[in-house]
Every structure is written in structure tokens, then in C-alpha cells.
Amino acid sequence: MDRRRLCVLLGLLLAALAGCDLSGQYEKRYQEALQSSGARARFDLQLYDTGLPIHDAAQKPSGVLVRIPKSFDKENSKSLPPTDPRAQPPFLALPGLYYAYERQLDDGTGQNFMPTYVYFAAVPKVDDKKVEQKADALQASLLKPLAAAFPGAAWADVQLPTPEGKPITLKRVRVDGQQDFMNLQTNKLEKKEGRFDLYFIDSPAHHVLIAWRSPKPQGEKYFYADSELAMGTVKSGGG
């Protein structure tokens, strides 16, 4: 056997032993796995590991789970029951409100704290009187006060990243504009430029609503990105 043929055979043997993929598929899969692990790490860094179950006003489970940002911790956050005046957005009464979380965040300077919110609600598709609640009728009833407060408000399908690397499509209304926020240091309402995102999620027995609200400085610094990460973790099962 000449030296050239021996070198070729040795090269092929080493490639096989090393698990080399001459077609490039191994490298492609490796890069995809690397990107997926990086994306998942971001979710794990910003969000709680387990999903929060959402119930309706009668405490019946909707079957929907969502991982919320770690900024809503026990030490600095407050759980607001439906009877609390701050539990609802000031411009929209969410039907079937379960409760809301309130967390003060600064504007990026370590000062000027204002509250941010996440709201959870679920509306049974069939109520106790056997009356069916259609999705399009509920969406229209939610949109009416939003459009009155924020002209141009509309439902739209949005794609959000997921920990698994495949996007999820959800229905959302996003409005930006002047909103009332309670300054918890002065106990006075203040008008602030803010954003409100309302998501509509289908589950077997409920229409589930998850909403996020924040002043713009707090949102741009912390809140907006984390809320979209959270919505990418939504799971809808039996309920």
C-alpha cells in the first residue's frame, strides 16, 4: 500500500472515530442546540422555574400556566385580590379577575419608583346558567373601553419566543399612552406614559386573560422584555 492511500484511509478512520459529519449536519445540529440552550438560559435567568396556575373568579382552575418574572418576589411584591382598587387597570375592568401582582420598580437610576402590574383573569366558556361566552364577543367587549381610552387599539396575532426555541402565536392588544399610576410613596395618582398589553389565551373550558402594565421608564429598563419572555412560557392544558 502506497503512502498516499494509507494517509487517505487513516483520515477516514479518524473522521469516523471522532464522529465527524462530512455533510455538515452535525455542525448544523450543534449550532442549533447551542442557540437553543442560550435562549433557554435567558428564560431561566429572568423567570421562575415553574408555571403559575391561573384560576377564574370562582377559584376554578383554567388549565393555563405561565412562568412570571422573578422581579415579582415575595419581599417586594404585593398580591392584590379582586376587591383591591388597584387590582384592575384604571381603564378596563377585566372579567373573571383572579388577582394581580404589584411591584415597584425604579426608572433605571435607582430612584423614582413606580408600580408595575401583571393581571390574571379567566372567564368560563359556559357559565353556571349554561350560557356560552363566545371568544369573539368577549374580545369585542374588552376592546371597546380600550379603544375609547386609546384610539386605534386592536387585537393582533403576535409571535413570541419560547424556551424550546419554537415561537408561540398569541392574540394581544397593545396600547401606549398616558395612564394613571398610584405613586405609593405619596399615595397620589400620577399621569405617566405607559404601556398595557392584554393577551387572550384559549383553554378547554376558559378564556384566559393575562395583562401587563408599566410606566415607560420602568418598562424599557426591566418590564417589557421580561413580560414577553413570560408569555412565551404559556401552557394551556385541561381545566
* Sheet with 61-66, side-by-side order of all strands: 52-55, 61-66, 235-236
80 and 108 share one domain: yes
Q: Is the pLDDT of residue 27 over 90?
A: no
CA distances 201 to 15, 138, 191, 237, Å, are: 50, 12, 30, 11
pLDDT digits (tens, 9 = 90+) for 164-178: 888 999 999 999 999
pLDDT digits (tens, 9 = 90+) for 89-101: 999 999 999 999 9
Q: What is the rounded average pLDDT for all residues in the chain?
A: 87
The range of the structural domain enclosing residue 17 comes to 3-42
CATH number at residue 61: 2.60.120.1690
Q: Rounded to an integer, what distance in angstroms lies between the CA atom of residue 224 and that of residue 213?
A: 9
8 and 114 share one domain: no
Please, what sign has the CA dihedral across residues 118, 179, 189, 139?
A: negative
31 and 149 share one domain: no
25 and 55 share one domain: no
36 and 146 share one domain: no
80 and 160 share one domain: yes
**This prediction's pTM:** 0.83
166 and 225 share one domain: yes
114 and 227 share one domain: yes
Count of domains forming the chain: 2
Q: Is the pLDDT of residue 11 over 60?
A: no
